[in-house]
């Protein structure tokens, strides 16, 4: 397994002080930024202007997770700003291949996310066009929910398909990742881990990042 990547989610950070909150996770591989529109999910967070400012001050690359309805309309804007990766939901994209190519044209990595009830099989043929597949391990919308163990078989099937295709696509999990659940997700084949409350809820976020990375590494090796 490649080195596990830890992406803290700023959804659990102090929104009044985001520059300082980013500085606390400088040892992370990227920062996960949850964009929500109160339509695709029942919650509202931030959009392009805030992401532009985050990019200007972040010590690590931005991994944007779009939980918005009109992904075809908005995703490219995040790539144009300079986000390292932009992930749209399969359920919200009318033309996922066109969208992935647009993201690449703007120099970003293209990710596609699946809600818990969305099967992975219909999307496996798209893997050659993607850089990352995100399997949601909670219903999207809120931080601090419990990891859905029922997603583990889907993670395993996705990991197998990725390996069969040469192992080039990152397999991200998002939701309920802790030092305990990361072990099961890594054993199932995930390599990129979003953690909101487990990092920002800890007294020492950098120590939490190190502990998560080690737990994933030990489980995956």
Q: Please give the annotated binding residues for a divalent metal cation, written as ranges.
A: 32, 34, 65, 174
Contact 45, 76 (CB under 8 A): no
Q: How far is the CB of 199 from ligand DX5 (least distance, A)?
A: 8
- What is d(CA 1, CA 11) in angstroms, rounded to the nearest whole number? 28
Sheet with 85-89: strands ordered across: 5-8, 192-195, 170-174, 132-136, 109-114, 85-89, 62-67, 31-36
- What is d(CA 112, CA 59) in angstroms, rounded to the nearest whole number? 25
Interaction with ligand DX5 in 27-86: which residues (CB under 6 A)? 32, 34, 65
Between 37 and 174, whose beta carbon lies closer to Zn ion?
A: 174
Between 101 and 186, whose beta carbon lies closer to ligand DX5?
A: 186
Cβ neighbours around 76 below 10 Å, total: 17
Report the residue from 4, 111, 176, 205 that binds ligand DX5 according to the rule CB under 6 A: 176
Question: 8-47 mask for Zn ion (x: CB under 5 A)?
Answer: --------------------------x-------------
From the list 152, 205, 158, the residue with the least C-alpha distance to 175 is: 152
Question: 102-141 mask for ligand DX5 (x: CB under 6 A)?
Answer: ------------------------------------x-xx
User: In the structure encoding, which two tokens stand for residue 163, read together?
Assistant: 């390996």
Between 27 and 43, whose beta carbon lies closer to ligand DX5?
A: 43
Catalytic residue among 29, 34, 37, 191: 34
Q: What are phi and psi of 69, to 5 degrees?
A: -75, -50
Catalytic residue among 29, 37, 131, 174: 174
- What is d(CA 46, CA 185) in angstroms, rounded to the nearest whole number? 28
Give the residue nearest to Zn ion (CB).
Answer: 65
Contact set with ligand DX5 (CB under 6 A): 9, 11-12, 32, 34, 65, 138, 140-145, 174-177, 194-198
């Amino acid at each position: 397994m490649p080195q596990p990547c830890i992406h803290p989610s700023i959804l659990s950070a102090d929104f009044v002080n985001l520059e300082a909150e980013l500085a606390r996770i400088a040892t992370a591989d990227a920062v996960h930024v949850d964009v929500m529109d109160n339509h695709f999910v029942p919650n509202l967070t931030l959009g392009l202007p805030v992401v532009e400012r985050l990019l200007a001050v972040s010590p690590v690359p931005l991994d944007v997770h779009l939980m918005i309805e009109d992904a075809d309309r908005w995703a490219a804007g995040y790539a144009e700003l300079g986000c390292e990766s932009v992930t749209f939901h399969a359920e919200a994209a009318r033309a996922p291949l066109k969208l992935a190519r647009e993201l690449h044209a703007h120099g970003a990595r293209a990710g596609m996310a699946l809600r818990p009830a969305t099967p992975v099989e219909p999307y496996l043929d798209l893997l050659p066009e993607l850089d990352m597949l995100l399997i949601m391990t909670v219903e999207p919308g809120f931080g601090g929910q419990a990891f859905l163990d029922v997603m583990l078989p889907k993670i395993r099937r996705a990991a197998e398909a990725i390996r069969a295709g040469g192992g080039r696509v990152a397999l991200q999990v998002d939701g309920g990742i802790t030092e305990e659940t990361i072990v099961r997700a890594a054993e199932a084949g995930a390599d990129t881990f979003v953690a909101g409350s487990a990092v920002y809820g800890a007294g020492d976020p950098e120590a939490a990042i190190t502990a998560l990375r080690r737990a994933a590494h030990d489980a995956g090796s």
